Each structure stands twice: as structure tokens, then as C-alpha cells.
Amino acid sequence: MEKLISSILVLLGSVIKFSMGSLTAIAADLGLGGSLANIIGGIIGIVLFTYLGSFIQSYFVKTFPNRFGKRFTRSNRFLVRLKQRFGLGGIAVLTPIVLSIPVGVLLALTVTHDKKKIMISMLVSMFFWATLLFLPYFLFDINVIDWITKLFER
């Protein structure tokens, strides 16, 4: 019962931040159920924000014009450079790990309005990162969390 509740929480967290859901599933030792919950949560997040992203974006700009205006901050400059230099591919690669799913999808919607192209690139990137994070965990029984903490113990 505890693993089911934990897997549901991983699914809900993965809708917003895929990498944190992955690390939580590994740290809680949820096994295959946790990794599937993570992947399903990422898929739900990508689909949800791809189709509702323009509505969400326009709502926040209209409701909070001072907060979501055209101010340049350090993070905004990073996002603009990422969009200009690497386009949709660069945004898709960084979305599951560095950016969150909503930020990445909303940024991708400013690059192109082709929702199919956005979903395919985001899903390919998410499956790539899921494979990279979960393959050592399942095949070689390497706990990535323990490995990273051992690097920083000194």
C-alpha cells in the first residue's frame, strides 16, 4: 500500500518536474512501478501543457501583467538564448532535467505552434532521460543517489 501511494505521488510530481520524480522513485526504491509512474506522469504533463499551454500562458499574462511582462532577468536571458541558439531540439533535451515540463513546453510553444512536433520532441527527450536514469538502476543495480552522494562526501 505504501509503494502504491508513493508511486501516485511520483506520478503527480512528474507531471511538473520529471527529474525529481525519477530521483524520488530511485531513492524510495519503488522499482518498476515507480519508474512507470514517473514516465506516465511525464507523458501526462507533456500532453496537458502542450494542449492547455496557450490558455495558461494568456491567463497568467492577463491576470498578472507586472509579473509576466517583458522584464529581462538572468533566467529569462538564459531561456531566450536557449531558444535562439538551439531551437526546439535544445529546449526538448533540457526540459526533463533542467527545465520543468511546463516551462519547457510553454517555451517550445513560442518557437513553433505545431503541437505534434512539440509532443514528439518532448516525448523522445523524456524517454531518453528515463532510459539514462533508470537503466543503471535496473540492469546493474546501481543506485544513482548513493553514487552521487559518495562523490560529494569528501
Determine what percent of the chain is predicted with pLDDT higher than 70. 93
Q: Give the pLDDT band (50/70/90) at residue 154.
A: low
Does the pLDDT value for residue 14 go beyond 80? yes
Beta strands in the chain (DSSP E): none
pLDDT digits (tens, 9 = 90+) for 32-75: 888 899 999 999 999 999 999 888 888 887 888 777 666 667 77
pLDDT digits (tens, 9 = 90+) for 83-99: 778 888 888 998 988 88
Could you tell me the residue ranges of all domains in the chain? 2-151
| Predicted pLDDT at 68 | 65
pLDDT digits (tens, 9 = 90+) for 107-123: 888 888 889 999 999 99
Which is nearest to 13 in space by CA: 28, 24, 3, 4? 24
Give the CA distances from residue 66 to residues 57, 63, 69, 72, 91, in Å, rounded to whole numbers and listed in that order: 14, 9, 5, 12, 26
Strand, helix or coil at 68? coil
Give the CA distances from residue 75 to residues 24, 82, 104, 135, in Å, rounded to whole numbers and listed in that order: 26, 11, 13, 32
| Predicted pLDDT at 71 | 67
Q: How far apart are CA 16 and CA 72, in angstroms?
A: 24
Does the pLDDT value for residue 80 go beyond 80? no
Q: What value, to the nearest 5°, has the Cα angle with vertex 97 and ends 94 and 103?
A: 65
